[in-house]
Structure 1
Amino acid sequence: MNNSVYILKDRAILYVNGQDARDFLQNLISNDINKVTDSSSCFASLLTPQGKFLYEFIVVKHKSGFFIDCEKSQSEEILNQLNLYKIRSKVEILNLSNEFVVASFGYEKYLSIDDSKDILGFTMRYREDPIVLDPRNKNLGARLIINLEKLYLSLKKLELKDDKIENYYHQSHKLGIVPKNLNKLKNKLFGIECNFEELNGIDFKKGCYVGQENTARIKLKNKLSKRLLPVEIIDGKLDEDETVYCNEIEIGKILINEEYPFALIKFSNENFNKDLTLKSKNGSFKIFIPEWLKI
């Protein structure tokens, strides 16, 4: 069994609390907040009114409110966006990133812990702190959200050993799930094009939320023709926002060009062939389609 743990220092923890917290989040996020209980967490996003991607996060019940586990580079913007929508709602929104930290460890290790269940998003308490089986994909393992002061004692008790965060990024990219640089996606694609339906981040049965109308229309009218897909560089380098070509036909755009690259690809285009080498101005690469994505 792999006993590695990754301290995700690039994650932030926001806290939404107050008597209106549940209704407040329900009106904003793409998933159903009623799925979030003491024993269940969810993945969700915040979209523009047009349904374009802004932010993504994991929502975890904590005391009388909700932890928002998000990328640190997006945390202040998420805080500001939530405050913008707050108006007269009785909610308090705090940034607790100086107090809490997220640690991720493997799926098998998670299953070895007493009371764990093999259910995506299942949430249990370890010495009062939530451990969540990642609601997107179990191969991303579990997440412990814990006060910094208690972190290393809990890791010791769980017999977990600190490992390089790059190994976590690599595993996430290999699974086809964006590990970092989420700001490069902002306003550039629809939330549903980020594969949020397959990653359990959209609920099509809940009521209205910001961006719901276009998201539902794309789904119901079968208009989904582009998807965010991971890239494996063969040669050269990639530049952000450059065009992707297959046999000299334009079929997409590079959105994340750094160590763990992703491109928005017109997967339904007759010229797209996942087995062919694709080109950009300065590089050649392949797209790989994750096992969990049926296209």
Structure 2
Amino acid sequence: MAPGFLSNLLRKTPTIAKLSNRGVLSVSGSQASEFLNGLLSTSVPNPPSGPFFSAFLHAQGRVMYDVFLYTTTTPTGQPGYLLEYDTRASEAQPLLSMLKRHVLRSKVKIRDVSENYDIWTAWGSESIPEIPRSWNWARSRVVEPVWEGNEWPWGTQNEALTDRRAVGMGRRLLARKGDKPPEASTYDVGAEDDYLLHRIALGVPEGSSDIVPMQAFPMESNLDIMGGLDFRKGCYVGQELTVRTYHTGVIRKRIVPVLLHQPGNPSQITGSMPQFPLHLDIRPMRIAQAPEDKPTPRPRGTGKLLSSRGQVGLALLRLEHVAGVLNKELAFEIETPGDGKIWQASPWWPSWWPEPPAEEE
């Protein structure tokens, strides 16, 4: 369950915010759908059905970029795509050069149009309807959303997307540079930190801070739950390890939201919080005494703190350790660099998170 004070931090009115560190690439041409289908982790319908969320994987199955793919119409009236991605430098090859390396003789044109667009996100309005979804659980504990009805779940509007990564995420919008989307006339204009708190509360990782390029595995980063993986499509870069994990592996880690607090009572609100650096180690520590006839080894492995804002953040944690903390057998500890102060991180499951079937518990 989310900490009770979290609702006081989140905006309660329809809100729109502009996002930074995001770029846009235009992908057009008669073979654009076929070209992207061979690279993205989800199927690309031809002709396009609408926008969607997806990812580019490395050949070894790790995430290079999580992306939003929007539909658009080119100046010549032909259908095309706009790729939104995190532009911050990382170990991954720059997306534009990576895509151009794969073009070869395909009838595809790729160009950077970041200077033409601003990226906005909107949430909190009842006018953004939810589509009921159920969940498919694989033996590996991979989870896939199943959408009800025949509607394209991500919407069909050009240069806009209904964000189905989690229940309540809202919409994603492209606007011409310097303009505001129509929603800005009726929504409150918030800050990017408001959006950060919103997605932390819903347990949604995004960009290189949370889904570390060339290191993150897609299912550990919740790409399966967020609808960013297709385990039944044809060949694409990174497919082999991803599908093998689906069929024969076990998901041992997930990104979950955490409450950051001083050791002791997690419900106590701390007035002043440090700015936690990215990717601090999170150590599981045993706090419950094991029965004498059942010695329990010291928990091994560490987690990583990802994006954070004040007392809440996202963390990549071992699921067995999360279960231990929720059962009050373990505690997660973080040591801040410089002063060596110890903090604790208490995880919770977002209310929308899929419940495993009884036989999988």
Same fold (TM over 0.5): yes
Q: Is the 2:209–2:307 Cα contact (8 Å) retained in structure 1?
A: no
Describe how 1:255-274 pairs up with structure 2 within 5 A.
Answer: 255-256=305-306, 258-259=308-309, 261-268=313-320, 272-274=324-326
**Whole-Å Cα distance in 1 between the matches of residues 84 and 277 of structure 2?**
30
Q: Matches of residues 18-37 of structure 1 in structure 2 within 5 Å?
A: 18-34=29-45, 37=48
Deviations 1:231-270 (A, max 9, x none): 3211375662525214152243215265364332221469
- Indicate if the aligned counterparts of 1:35 and 1:41 stay in contact, CA closer than 8 A: no
> Distance in 1 between the 2:51 and 2:246 partners?
24
Residue ranges of structure 2 left out of the alignment (5+ in a row): 1-11, 74-78, 130-149, 263-273, 287-297, 336-341, 357-361
Asked whether the equivalents of residues 36 and 60 of structure 1 are also in contact (C-alpha less than 8 Å), the reply is no
Tell me the SS of whatever aligns to 1:250: coil
Q: Partner of 2:114: helix, strand, or coil?
A: coil
Q: How does 1:114-263 map to 2 (within 5 A)?
A: 120-124=153-157, 130-149=159-178, 151-152=179-180, 154-155=182-183, 158-182=185-209, 185-235=212-262, 240=279, 242-247=281-286, 249-256=299-306, 258-259=308-309, 261-263=313-315
Residue 147 of structure 1 and its aligned partner are, at CA, apart by: 1.2
Name the amino acid aligned to 1:78.
L
Larger radius of gyration: 2
Paired with 1:181 and 1:68, the residues of 2 have a C-alpha distance of: 16
1:287 pairs with 2:314: no
Unaligned segments of structure 1, at least 5 residues: none
Give 3-state SS (helix, strand or coil) of 1:249's partner: coil
The alignment status of 1:82 with 2:82, answered yes or no, reads: no
User: In the aligned structure 2, how far is the partner of 1:167 from the partner of 1:198?
Assistant: 23
Alignment correspondent of 1:50: 60
TM-score if structure 1 supplies the norm length?
0.84
- For the aligned residue pairs, the C-alpha RMSD in angstroms reads 3.0
Greater percentage in helix? 1
Residue type at the aligned position of 1:13: V
| Aligned counterparts of 2:317 and 2:55: Cα–Cα separation in 1 | 21
Kept in 2, the 8 Å contact 1:249–1:271? The answer is no
CA distance in 1, matches of 2:168, 2:183: 20
1:218 aligned counterpart, secondary structure: helix
Q: Partner amino acid for 1:154?
A: P
- Call closer, same or farther: CA 1:8–1:118 in 2, change over 3 Å: farther
Percent of residue pairs identical: 21
Give the equivalent residue in structure 2 for 1:61. Answer: 71
Return the offset for 1:6.
0.8
Find the aligned partners of 1:30 and 1:178 in 2 and give their Cα distance.
17
Q: 1:240 and 1:197 mapped to 2: Cα distance? A: 22
Aligned to 2:219, the other structure's residue is in SS state helix
